[in-house]
Amino acid sequence: MHPMDSPLQIEVTTTDRPVSHDRLAAILESPGFGQHFTDHMFLAEWTPERGWHDARVTPYAPLSLDPATAVLHYAQEIFEGLKAYRHEDGSVWTFRPEENAARMTRSSRRLALPVLPVEDFVASVDALVRVDERWVPEQAGEKSLYLRPFMFGSEAFLGVRPARHVTYLVIASPAGAYFANGVQPVSIWLSEEYTRAGRGGMGAAKTGGNYASSLVAQQEATEQGCDQVVFLDSAEGRYVEELGGMNLYFVQDDGTVVTPETSGTILEGITRSSIIELCGKLGHAVEERPVSIDEWRQGVGSGRITEVFACGTAAVVTPVGRLRWGGGEVGDDTTGPVTGEVRTALVDLQYGRAEDTFGWMHRVL
């Protein structure tokens, strides 16, 4: 390894029981999402006395946790998600990993967890990808290696205060298309009973708790025959925020692209902010502003809104074909041209098929 890359010294212990060549080939043929994990994982520990220490890549294995471990009771946890992409020439790259690191810093502050320096975050992801390089699929079929850095209060203690022992890990999982039936328009259920975040809450932090609170609404969406759920603001129940794990975009009939502004209750997606810049380059005017649920419903009906799409690292850019609520629905289940244009521009950049004019790609191998 390259311990000089970072102040955090990374010890590497490789497994003597790697997944066999044949088994790996079968997994990479059809990886699904989040089902198979690579041969290794990255770990580091933090205490107030020592700061970050014991950074290491070790064989992938279960963790042993005391039943009193803080995270199991009070959910002091944050995570990140990014992907490693293999380019045509065999090289391996991640997309804007410093942005994930910066967001994890913001999440750390909100959850009273220690800050992992940006360079150590990037070094941790690079170290795991280098050791598990054979798990980075070829790019055909939009495959990639999904990386999941996460951090949690690992002190065994039942009092309510920030943990004094924190563990940070990175695990990796080969990924195919996020949705089982490929890039097809999804249907969205409007949650009118539940919200995901309120003013002063954790909406802008990438934390498991936000997902825990979204599950019952997602369950309702499934019962209503929809793929995903959309949440409104908790104060007025009037403005569109985001899906359970993806940000939203609306395309107007004049070509303007609109996304709900982030004001503390929406997760600031890196895909979302990249699309703002990409749309500018593609010649679309971009607006970040409040979008009411009535604007969505009426706009699709009147033709003012011509396309809706969702975005996030896992599912990239996904067309929204239909919005349903208790008592009605709008949408014609099609994919529009701007959605396709944005999606292609982004994945071409990530897979090295388009010039990286923004300097967004980070070479790992």
Q: What is the largest CA-CA distance in the chain?
A: 62
User: Is residue 122 close enough to count as binding ligand PLP by CB under 6 A?
Assistant: no
Minimum separation from the CB atom of position 165 to ligand PLP (A) = 25
User: Is residue 233 close enough to count as binding ligand PLP by CB under 6 A?
Assistant: no
User: Is residue 271 close enough to count as binding ligand PLP by CB under 6 A?
Assistant: yes
Q: Which is nearer to ligand PLP, 107 or 167 (CB)?
A: 107
Tell me whether strands 82-86 and 144-153 are parallel, antiparallel or unpaired.
antiparallel
Q: Which is nearer to ligand PLP, 52 or 152 (CB)?
A: 152
Please state, in angstroms and as integers, the Cα–Cα distance from residue 359 to each residue in 156, 350, 352, following that order.
Answer: 43, 11, 12
Distance CA 247, CA 314 (A): 12
User: Is residue 313 close enough to count as binding ligand PLP by CB under 6 A?
Assistant: yes
User: Is residue 31 close enough to count as binding ligand PLP by CB under 6 A?
Assistant: no
Minimum separation from the CB atom of position 154 to ligand PLP (A) = 22
Span of 109-117, 220-228, 266-274, 336-344 interacting with ligand PLP by CB under 6 A: 266-274
Q: Give the residue among 225, 251, 233, 360 at the shortest CA–CA distance from 310.
A: 251
The 10 Å CB-count burial string (b at 16+, else e) for 285-299 is ebeeeebbbebbbeb
Site size toward ligand PLP (CB under 6 A) is 14
Minimum separation from the CB atom of position 271 to ligand PLP (A) = 3
User: Is residue 312 close enough to count as binding ligand PLP by CB under 6 A?
Assistant: yes
357 contact partners, CB below 8 Å, separation of at least 6: 281
Using the rule CB under 6 A, which residue among 126, 155, 227, 242 binds ligand PLP? 242
Using the rule CB under 6 A, which residue among 81, 114, 141, 208 binds ligand PLP? 81
User: Is residue 269 close enough to count as binding ligand PLP by CB under 6 A?
Assistant: yes
Please state, in angstroms and as integers, the Cα–Cα distance from residue 246 to each residue in 37, 64, 85, 265, following that order.
Answer: 23, 32, 20, 13
Span of 27-35, 136-144, 265-273, 296-304 interacting with ligand PLP by CB under 6 A: 265-273
- Residue that is written with structure tokens 């009118």 in the block: 192
Q: Give the residue among 340, 338, 348 at the shortest CA–CA distance from 250.
A: 338
- Residue that is written with structure tokens 């970050």 in the block: 52
Tell me whether strands 51-59 and 11-12 are parallel, antiparallel or unpaired.
parallel
- Across the strands, what pairs with 145? 84, 174
Minimum separation from the CB atom of position 315 to ligand PLP (A) = 9
CA dihedral 76, 9, 40, 145 (to 10 degrees): 80
Minimum separation from the CB atom of position 89 to ligand PLP (A) = 26
Span of 52-60, 170-178, 229-237, 270-278 interacting with ligand PLP by CB under 6 A: 270-278
Q: Which is nearer to ligand PLP, 226 or 270 (CB)?
A: 270
Using the rule CB under 6 A, which residue among 27, 104, 246, 316 binds ligand PLP? 246
Length of the chain: 365
Q: Which is nearer to ligand PLP, 18 or 81 (CB)?
A: 81
User: Is residue 247 close enough to count as binding ligand PLP by CB under 6 A?
Assistant: yes
User: Is residue 149 close enough to count as binding ligand PLP by CB under 6 A?
Assistant: no
User: Is residue 206 close enough to count as binding ligand PLP by CB under 6 A?
Assistant: yes
317 contact partners, CB below 8 Å, separation of at least 6: 271, 275, 309, 310, 311, 339, 342, 343, 346
User: Is residue 83 close enough to count as binding ligand PLP by CB under 6 A?
Assistant: no
Q: Which is nearer to ligand PLP, 97 or 245 (CB)?
A: 245
The 10 Å CB-count burial string (b at 16+, else e) for 178-188 is beeeebebbbb
Minimum separation from the CB atom of position 309 to ligand PLP (A) = 13
CB atoms within 10 A of CB 109: 13
Q: Which residues lie near ligand PLP (CB under 6 A)?
A: 81, 206, 210, 242, 245-247, 267, 269-272, 312-313
